[in-house]
Amino acid sequence: MFFFNLHTHHFTNNPDVLELVNQYPQDFDGSVPFYSIGIHPWYIVESRIDADLKIIEEKLKEHNCLAIGECGLDKRIEIPFDLQILVFEKQLALAEKYKKPVVIHCVAAFQEVIASKKKTKIAVPLIIHGFSKNHQIANQLIKEGFYVSFGKYLLRNPDLKTVFQNLPNDRFFLETDTIEESIQQVYEVASKYKELKNEQLQSVISNNYKNVFQNQ
């Protein structure tokens, strides 16, 4: 593995990249080599929650299902927030049961995500994907034991540079999510910001991958 893409919706089948492809219970593609699966807060359908959770639980037993997610909390959508919390915490329980890390979508709800972690006493690694916030939130997440993944906003928002630079090297991942740029381009920017050679950055993320995805 030369590159690890923590979260993507575009499977490229590039032999140099281990891609953690996001999958949904009702739209599953069995040809994807490695994936995460979860109920995204945007796509919660109340009448289908139990059926979706059943599919997720079956997939979590497979060796090529590396994580649950993306799942999480989003205060900027119309899905009732109490329902979001219920569905999120049910998925956290499954993650703990099957010892799988969790890829988390979080919009304007970091305190509530932290509260759910404490409430459920979950011990598996939790990764906030698509991070775009400030030092204070980043530091709080690290303090609470989360990992943080960067992608689109690292490329688009220069203000994230110092946030990323100050993040401990054993606590971050890189991703492409839905952007057109390649994971290699994200690594390029990250290498520059961290003042690391590309090979050094690859080694850092490879170690993080082993710690999170191979120690469960």
Distance, CA of 79 to CA of 73 (rounded, Å): 10
Is the distance from CB of 176 to CB of 149 less than 8 angstroms?
A: no
Residues 6+ positions from 15 with CB-CB distance below 8 Å: none
Q: Is 74 known as a binding-site position?
A: no
pLDDT per residue as tens digits for the range 148-158? 999 999 999 99
Q: Is 7 known as a binding-site position?
A: no
Q: Is 82 known as a binding-site position?
A: no
pLDDT, average across residues 161-171: 97
Distance, CA of 104 to CA of 126 (rounded, Å): 7
Distances (CA, A) of 216 to 10, 80, 184: 26, 33, 27
pLDDT per residue as tens digits for the range 51-81? 999 999 999 999 999 999 999 999 999 999 9
Q: What is the pTM of this model?
A: 0.97
What is the pLDDT at residue 216?
A: 63
Q: Domains in the chain and their CATH numbers? A: 3-213 (3.20.20.140)
Q: Is 63 known as a binding-site position?
A: no
Distance, CA of 126 to CA of 130 (rounded, Å): 13
How far from the centroid of its chain's Cα atoms is residue 79's Cα? 21
